[in-house]
């Protein structure tokens, strides 16, 4: 019976949702206290009429899903004065009657239902109104409202991805959809970055299983091969080594110090004579550059010279004879002897920067001799830091002379930051170029030192041999 009624009302509803159905101008409207009600709460519907002709009685029939709502109360608005018949909750029907013609326009019926069962769908509550006058229908119409019942406590199902930022879960009871942000895990590297290519890291949502990928920047960890000499150094110009990353092809270079010349021994190109200078040269075996050295004139060599004039403290003397080397009859100067002073007295103290003086009397000639006392130079104490160095700027320190108070500023080098691979501080195997340079330098220095010793010895030997030769010839 109710089903047939519902079907009938349903058909009417198709129209009533859009516009109130009216017969003879009767219009039925219904409002609800809320379109959404939480499980356990009440919702009140108010049915009101307009355009109704005067009538003596009116009825109402209510249809609602009884598995979702429970009846709380239902009453006609004009109930007070009515010769009335109650609302029958077993049939969800009721009527009201008056002795005289009554105006039913305005609020007609108020129904309160309690929401009992949450659900995902909108639930229709439908009201059918019929007005009578002395047995005839003078108007009828219906209207309905849709109400949704939410849970008090949702029973959510599992999460599912909504978009790149959010996931959702739906209440299995009321269909409520909750949207929240993904909760990403720590992520795992799905492709390691190299110096050539970026890598990737994948994060997974611990709730819905969605994933996102982030790029890992290229690394600075190159796989360099061995250093190779790409430009050989010369005696005077720098060379260059380079090495290439096997992965990305990046090339790194470093300077190789100039080797310095590799001179052979000196060769005499012009012998020194008694009065004429000699000359020696040596040639770089690599680049052919020549270095020239002058040999001092030997001076005449007398065997038994005759002193013509004795030297004094300040004046040179003179001697004459026949040179054993060149046979020339000539004179030589005898150097002045210099004053002979036993005791000097300081007449002016030396300071840090100015020379002093000391004076003495020559025991030979009686002249006063004045000697310089060299300036002592400053005696600086420990430096005091004025501005400490940082990793980005040099610092400053000051030293003060403990004698004269002179100060000098010094720069404190910047602090070392861990610099990665500047060409010269990483020296892998096979890089002996700079060592070679150092060795060459050393060799050259040692060579020079040796020459300083050997050359005079050689000269002496030559002189000795010549002298012996002349002596031998004379004796014959």
Binds Zn ion (CB under 5 A): choice among 23, 120, 235, 258: 235
Q: Give which of 62, 149, 42 is closest to 109, Cα–Cα.
A: 62
Residue 173 engages Zn ion in binding (rule: CB under 5 A)? yes
DSSP state of 305: P
Least distance between Zn ion and beta carbon 37 (Å):
13
**Part in contact with Zn ion (CB under 5 A); list of ranges 80-88, 96-104, 119-127, 197-205:** 197-205
User: Contact, 322 vs 302, CB < 8 A?
Assistant: yes
Residue 243 engages Zn ion in binding (rule: CB under 5 A)? no
d(CA 60, CA 89) in angstroms, rounded, equals 12
Binds Zn ion (CB under 5 A): choice among 43, 129, 295, 323: 323
Site for Zn ion in 344-373 (CB under 5 A): 352, 362, 364-365, 367
User: Contact, 123 vs 136, CB < 8 A?
Assistant: no
**Part in contact with Zn ion (CB under 5 A); list of ranges 15-23, 65-73, 199-207, 416-424:** 199-207
Binds Zn ion (CB under 5 A): choice among 13, 52, 123, 205: 205
d(CA 242, CA 229) in angstroms, rounded, equals 6
Least distance between Zn ion and beta carbon 130 (Å):
38
x/- map, 251-280, Zn ion, by CB under 5 A: ----------x------------x------
Per-residue H/E/C for 403-430: CCCCEEEEEECCCCCCCCCCCCCCCCCC
Q: Where are any strands of DSSP class E within 51-172? A: 55-63, 69-76, 83-88, 93-102, 106-115, 122-133, 136-150, 160-161, 166-170
Binds Zn ion (CB under 5 A): choice among 23, 84, 120, 195: 195
Cβ neighbour number for residue 341 with a 10 Å cutoff: 18
Residues 6+ apart with CB under 8 A from 99: 56, 83
SS3 191: strand
Site for Zn ion in 279-298 (CB under 5 A): 284, 286-287, 289
Tell me the number of residues near Zn ion by CB under 5 A: 41
Least distance between Zn ion and beta carbon 298 (Å):
7
C-alpha distance from residue 44 to each of 41, 70, 132, 146, 426 (Å) = 10, 12, 26, 12, 86
Q: Which is nearer to Zn ion, 342 or 391 (CB)?
A: 342
DSSP state of 314: S
Binds Zn ion (CB under 5 A): choice among 322, 325, 348, 399: 325
Least distance between Zn ion and beta carbon 379 (Å):
6
Task: Say which residue the tokens 């959510």 belong to.
Answer: 156
Site for Zn ion in 86-145 (CB under 5 A): none
Can you give the binding site for Zn ion, defined by CB under 5 A? 151, 154, 167, 171, 173-174, 176, 182, 195, 205, 207-208, 210, 222, 235, 245, 247-248, 250, 261, 274, 284, 286-287, 289, 300, 313, 323, 325-326, 339, 352, 362, 364-365, 367, 378, 401, 403-404, 406
């Amino acid at each position: 019976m109710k089903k047939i009624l519902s079907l009938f009302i349903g058909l009417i509803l198709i129209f009533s949702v859009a516009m109130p159905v009216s017969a003879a101008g009767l219009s039925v409207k219904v409002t609800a206290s809320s379109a959404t009600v939480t499980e356990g709460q009440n919702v009140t519907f108010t049915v009101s009429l307009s355009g109704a002709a005067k009538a003596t009685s009116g009825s109402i029939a209510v249809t609602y899903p009884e598995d979702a709502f429970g009846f709380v109360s239902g009453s006609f608005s004009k109930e007070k004065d009515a010769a009335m018949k109650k609302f029958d909750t077993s049939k969800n029907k009721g009527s009201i009657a008056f002795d005289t013609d009554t105006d039913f326009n305005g609020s007609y019926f108020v129904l309160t239902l309690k929401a009992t069962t949450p659900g995902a769908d909108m639930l229709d509550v439908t009201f059918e109104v019929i007005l009578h006058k002395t047995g005839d229908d003078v108007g009828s119409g219906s209207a309905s409202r849709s109400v949704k019942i939410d849970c008090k406590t949702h029973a959510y199902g599992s999460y599912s991805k909504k978009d790149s930022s959010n996931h959702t879960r739906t209440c299995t009871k009321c269909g409520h959809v909750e949207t929240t942000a993904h909760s990403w895990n720590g992520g795992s590297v799905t492709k390691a970055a190299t110096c050539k290519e970026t890598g990737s890291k994948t994060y997974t949502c611990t709730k819905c299983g969605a994933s996102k990928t982030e790029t890992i920047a290229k690394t600075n960890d190159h796989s360099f091969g061995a250093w190779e000499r790409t430009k050989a150094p010369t005696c005077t110009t720098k060379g260059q080594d380079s090495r290439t990353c096997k992965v990305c092809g990046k090339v790194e270079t470093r300077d190789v110090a100039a080797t310095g010349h590799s001179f052979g021994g000196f060769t005499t190109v012009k012998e020194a004579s008694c009065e004429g200078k000699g000359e020696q040269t040596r040639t770089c075996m690599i680049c052919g550059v020549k270095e020239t050295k002058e040999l001092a004139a030997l001076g005449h060599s007398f065997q038994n010279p005759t002193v013509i004039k004795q030297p004094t403290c300040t004046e040179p003397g003179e001697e004459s004879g026949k040179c054993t080397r060149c046979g020339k009859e000539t004179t030589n100067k005898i150097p002045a002897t210099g004053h002979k002073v036993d005791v000097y007295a300081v007449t002016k103290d030396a300071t840090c920067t100015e020379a002093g003086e000391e004076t003495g009397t020559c025991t030979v000639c009686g002249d006063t001799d004045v000697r310089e006392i060299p300036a002592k130079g400053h005696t600086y104490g420990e430096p005091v830091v004025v501005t400490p160095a940082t990793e980005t700027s040099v610092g400053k320190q000051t030293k003060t002379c403990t004698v004269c108070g002179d100060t000098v500023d010094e720069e404190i080098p910047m602090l070392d930051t861990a610099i990665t691979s500047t060409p010269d501080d990483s020296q892998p195997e096979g890089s002996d170029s700079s060592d070679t340079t150092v060795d060459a330098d050393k060799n050259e220095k040692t060579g020079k030192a040796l020459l300083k010793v050997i050359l005079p010895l050689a000269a002496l030997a030559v002189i000795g041999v010549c002298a012996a030769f002349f002596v031998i010839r004379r004796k014959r």
